[in-house]
Structure 1
Amino acid sequence: MTTQNAINWPDTYLPGTGDNFVSNEVIVQGVTAADVWRYLTDTSTWESYYDNVADISFPAGGGPELADDLAFRFGTFGFPPLDAHVVEFQAPAEGVPGRLSWTAKQEGGPEERLDVLHAWLVEDLPGDRVRVLTQETQIGAPAAALATERPNPMLNGHQAWLDGLIRAASGMLGA
């Protein structure tokens, strides 16, 4: 029997307690966690495989590779650039899943305020397979509005990110 790992959730962002939650996952053969990790943590590659991200910057320096405790900014889903902060960073290793989580915030009044935790888990599975799980909890009025849209833009957007990430990691960009 194979057990699969789960996202580490801080209490503030526990799934089901915010205004919007989405979960997307892929399991594929022929790609390793290390292959995926390279494209996930190097923000200079994001726009090559995911069209819903823009204006990535590192106001305090660093980047383009993400690292523990790194601050960065990016635009997505039509929001002005969000202030993000890496809160969990563990590269995948033998028997250890890769873990990446960041908070992203938009300040403002009650109608604009947004607080997000976006988490990733990347793990090798038996049979030359890799599992990539991404989940996000969002808190705030913009999140509540997104949660009511059909089709769900967060669910579809994150699936596009996963699909592009796997294409990039398997060397199939532009194919």
Structure 2
Amino acid sequence: MSDIIWPQGFVPGFTDNFCSNEVIVQGLTTEQIWPFLANPTRWPDYYQNSSSVKIHDGTGPELEHGTRFFFKTFGFPVESRCVEYVPPVEGQPARLAWHGWFGNEGADDRLDVHHAWLIEDLSAGRVRILTQETQNGNPAKELAQTVPNPMINGHQEWLDGLVQAARQAG
């Protein structure tokens, strides 16, 4: 199976926080999942921890490499830039990733994240959806110490909602 491509400074094990969530489900394809993930304005429809989505610079609603966007999640207003955008193509995984940030550079409350998604069709009519996020900054250090881990639980809700939305769309 494929894995996430990590930029320098965001490799798991060398960041302040890391979370990984994955589902493998039968009866869906990457093509069916992709529209619900690549269009952030759809996120609040199936993921309650996402709100106030805005696409900057008159682009969208679907992300592209370089697209700037904003959303609120986990209590943070997050500015983001899409840094990886590989739509579904037969025989290779679809990939989506963004760099998100909150606060001013150098400030104690600064948070920088790399949130990546990988969706790939597997044998026997299954699809694998992997989402992983690394974080740097004092808020990330606090989140890493929180039990239960809000990032793991929140991203699992995102995955479950994504699967449900794709199933309902048929």
Instruction: Report TM bin, short chain.
Output: over 0.9
Moved over 4 A (4+): none
Question: How far does residue 60 in structure 1 lie from its aligned partner after superposition?
Answer: 1.7
Q: 2:113 aligns with which of 113, 116, 122?
A: 116
Question: What SS does the corresponding residue of 1:12 show, helix, strand or coil?
Answer: coil
Aligned to 1:67: 64
Moved more, 105-114 or 135-144: 105-114
Alignment root-mean-square deviation, CA: 1.3
Count of matched residue positions in the alignment of Structure 1 and Structure 2: 169
Question: What SS does the corresponding residue of 1:15 show, helix, strand or coil?
Answer: coil
Unaligned runs of 5+ in 2: none
Write the distance in 1 (CA, Å) between the matches of 2:70 and 2:41. Answer: 13
Write the distance in 2 (CA, Å) between the matches of 1:17 and 1:78. Answer: 24
Aligned to 1:36: 33
Aligned to 1:139: 136
Aligned to 1:169: 166
Cα deviations by residue, 1:140-169 (Å, 9 ceiling, x for unpaired): 000110111111000000000000000011
- TM-score, L = length of structure 1: 0.93
Write the distance in 2 (CA, Å) between the matches of 1:167 and 1:36. Answer: 10
Residue pairs, 1:1-175, within 5 angstroms: 4-79=1-76, 81-108=77-104, 110-171=107-168
Cα deviations by residue, 1:13-59 (Å, 9 ceiling, x for unpaired): 00111110000000000000011111011122111100001111123
Unaligned runs of 5+ in 1: none
Q: Which amino acid aligns with 1:126?
A: S
Write the distance in 1 (CA, Å) between the matches of 2:165 and 2:13. Answer: 31
* Percent identity over paired residues: 50
